[in-house]
C-alpha cells in the first residue's frame, strides 16, 4: 500500500493478506489516505469484524461527519443500507446495486470522490460460489471508468487458495491499468500496462462501449505495454462489431502487438498514431 500511494485512487485493485494485523494496516492506510485527500470512504467488513471496525475508528483521524463508514455483512435480507449489507438472498446484482447507489449518492452529495474497500471474506459462503465471485469482480469494473471511484478488494490467503487468488487478480485492472470513459461518442482511454496480471479485466472494460451504434474510439496513446493476450482481446472486440469501426490510437509497440495477433485481417479495426501532448508554453 505504501508503494501504491495515491496512485491507487481511481482504480480497481486487489491485494492479499495473511494476518489480522496486516489487514488492519492495509485498511487503515487506505482509509486514511482517502480521508486526507477529502474523499468519502466506505469499508465493507465481514460479520465478526468488530475488532477491525474499532481499529479503523481509532486509527483513522481527521474524518468529517459521514466521511468514513464501516458496513457489516449479515444485517440485510435482500437489500442493503449503510448499516449493513448481505443476507441469505443477497447476490451479485444486490452488491452492484448497492455500489451504484453509493457512487451516485456520494458524488451528488458533494464529495469529490468515493473510496471503497472490502474485506472479501464475506464472499466465502455457500451462497456465493466462485462463479458468483468472478461475475461480481468482472461486472464491478463498470464503475471505474470514472476516475473518482476507487475500490480495494482484500482477500485472506488463509481462506482463498493461490490459484483462485491469481484468477481473481487477473480481473482487476489496477494498479497497473487505468481506464476512463468520456469524450465524443464511445470513447475509452487506457493508460498504464496490460499484461497477464490484469488482461482478464479487459473484456469487461470493452463491454462498456460494445453496445455503441457509433464508432468506438479506443485511445491507447498512454498504454505503455500490451501483451499478446491483451492485444487479442482488442482485435476480437473489433471483429465482433463488423459494421462499426473501432479506432485505436496507439504507439509503435502497441501497434506491433495488435498486428501480430491479426489486426490487419479485421476491416472494422482502424489503427491510428498515438496522440502526443503538445509543447508546454513557458512564461517569458
The helix (H) or strand (E) run that includes residue 42 is strand 40-45
> Is there a single domain that holds both residue 234 and residue 170?
no
Beta-carbon count within 10 A of 276 CB: 8
Structure confidence at residue 89 (pLDDT): 81
Where residue 260 sits, what CATH number does that domain have?
A: 3.30.750.24
C-alpha cell recorded at residue 93: 446484482
pLDDT-derived band at 275, boundaries 50, 70, 90: confident
Mean pLDDT, residues 130-143: 94
- The two beta strands, 80-81 and 84-85, are antiparallel
The answer on pLDDT for 182 being more than 90 is no
> Is there a single domain that holds both residue 28 and residue 165?
yes
Where residue 135 sits, what CATH number does that domain have?
A: 3.40.50.300
Which residue, 278, 276, 216, 212, is CA-closest to 250?
276
The conformational region for residue 10 under phi > 0 = left, psi -120 to 50 = alpha, else beta, is left
Question: Strand, coil or helix: what is 31?
Answer: helix
pLDDT-derived band at 116, boundaries 50, 70, 90: very high
Residue 227: inside a domain: yes
Residue 278: inside a domain: no
Structure confidence at residue 281 (pLDDT): 39
Under 8 Å between Cβ of 247 and 272? yes
Q: How many Å apart are CA 52 and CA 141, to the nearest integer?
A: 26
Angle, helices 252-260/228-239, rounded to nearest 10 degrees:
70
> Is there a single domain that holds both residue 122 and residue 230?
no
The answer on pLDDT for 79 being more than 50 is no
The helix (H) or strand (E) run that includes residue 177 is strand 177-181
Chosen domain end from 175, 197, 219:
175
Residue 279: inside a domain: no
pLDDT digits (tens, 9 = 90+) for 155-168: 999 999 999 999 99
Structure confidence at residue 274 (pLDDT): 85
Q: How many Å apart are CA 49 and CA 53, to the nearest integer?
A: 6
pLDDT digits (tens, 9 = 90+) for 84-101: 788 878 899 999 999 999
- Domain residue limits at 237: 178-273
> Is there a single domain that holds both residue 145 and residue 226?
no
Residue 200: inside a domain: yes
> Is there a single domain that holds both residue 111 and residue 234?
no
Structural domains of the chain, count: 2
> Is there a single domain that holds both residue 34 and residue 45?
yes
> Is there a single domain that holds both residue 97 and residue 189?
no
pLDDT digits (tens, 9 = 90+) for 33-52: 999 999 999 999 999 999 99
Residue 16: inside a domain: yes
> Is there a single domain that holds both residue 105 and residue 212?
no
Under 8 Å between Cβ of 33 and 165? no
- The two beta strands, 177-181 and 186-194, are antiparallel
Contacts of 58 (CB under 8 A, 6+ apart): none
Residue 284: inside a domain: no
Structure confidence at residue 6 (pLDDT): 56
pLDDT-derived band at 212, boundaries 50, 70, 90: confident
Chosen domain end from 155, 175, 195:
175
Q: Is 234 exposed, middle or buried (0-12, 13-18, 19+ CB in 10 A)?
A: buried
Question: Strand, coil or helix: what is 134?
Answer: helix
Structure confidence at residue 191 (pLDDT): 94
> Is there a single domain that holds both residue 204 and residue 268?
yes
Beta-carbon count within 10 A of 8 CB: 22
Residue 145: inside a domain: yes
Chosen domain end from 175, 197, 229:
175
Structure confidence at residue 284 (pLDDT): 35
Residue 246: inside a domain: yes
Structure confidence at residue 244 (pLDDT): 94
> Is there a single domain that holds both residue 32 and residue 146?
yes
> Is there a single domain that holds both residue 122 and residue 194?
no
Give pTM, 2 decimals. 0.86
Q: How many Å apart are CA 230 and CA 198, to the nearest integer?
A: 9
Question: Strand, coil or helix: what is 76?
Answer: coil
Average pLDDT, the chain: 89
pLDDT-derived band at 280, boundaries 50, 70, 90: very low
> Is there a single domain that holds both residue 170 and residue 199?
no
H-type alpha helices, 125-262: 130-139, 162-170, 202-210, 228-239, 252-260
pLDDT digits (tens, 9 = 90+) for 221-253: 999 999 999 999 999 999 999 999 999 999 999
Amino acid at each position: 500500500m505504501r508503494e501504491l500511494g495515491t496512485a491507487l485512487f481511481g482504480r480497481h485493485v486487489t491485494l492479499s493478506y495473511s494476518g489480522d494485523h496486516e489487514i488492519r494496516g492495509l485498511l487503515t492506510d487506505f482509509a486514511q489516505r482517502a480521508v486526507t485527500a477529502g474523499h468519502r470512504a466506505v469499508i465493507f467488513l465481514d460479520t465478526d469484524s468488530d475488532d477491525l471496525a474499532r481499529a479503523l475508528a481509532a486509527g483513522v483521524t481527521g474524518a468529517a461527519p459521514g466521511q468514513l463508514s464501516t458496513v457489516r455483512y449479515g444485517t440485510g435480507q435482500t437489500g442493503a443500507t449503510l448499516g449493513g449489507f448481505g443476507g441469505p438472498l443477497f447476490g451479485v446484482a444486490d452488491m452492484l446495486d448497492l455500489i451504484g447507489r453509493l457512487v451516485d449518492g456520494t458524488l451528488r452529495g458533494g464529495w469529490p470522490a468515493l473510496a471503497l474497500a472490502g474485506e472479501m471474506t464475506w464472499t466465502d459462503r455457500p451462497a456465493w460460489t466462485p462463479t458468483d465471485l468472478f461475475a461480481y469482480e468482472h461486472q464491478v469494473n463498470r464503475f471505474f471508468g470514472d476516475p473518482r471511484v476507487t475500490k480495494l478488494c482484500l482477500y485472506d490467503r488463509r481462506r482463498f487458495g493461490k490459484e483462485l487468488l491469481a484468477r481473481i487478480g487477473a480481473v482487476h485492472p489496477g494498479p497497473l491499468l487505468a481506464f476512463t470513459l468520456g469524450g465524443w461518442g464511445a470513447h475509452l482511454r487506457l493508460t498504464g500496462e496490460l499484461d497477464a496480471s490484469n488482461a482478464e479485466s479487459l473484456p469487461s472494460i470493452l463491454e462498456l462501449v460494445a453496445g455503441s451504434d457509433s464508432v468506438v474510439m479506443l485511445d491507447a496513446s498512454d498504454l505503455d505495454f500490451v501483451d499478446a493476450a491483451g492485444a487479442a482481446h482488442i482485435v476480437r472486440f473489433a471483429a465482433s462489431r463488423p459494421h462499426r469501426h473501432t479506432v485505436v490510437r496507439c504507439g509503435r509497440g502497441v501497434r506491433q502487438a495488435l498486428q501480430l495477433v491479426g489486426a490487419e485481417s479485421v476491416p472494422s479495426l482502424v489503427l491510428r498514431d498515438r496522440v502526443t501532448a503538445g509543447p508546454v508554453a513557458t512564461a517569458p
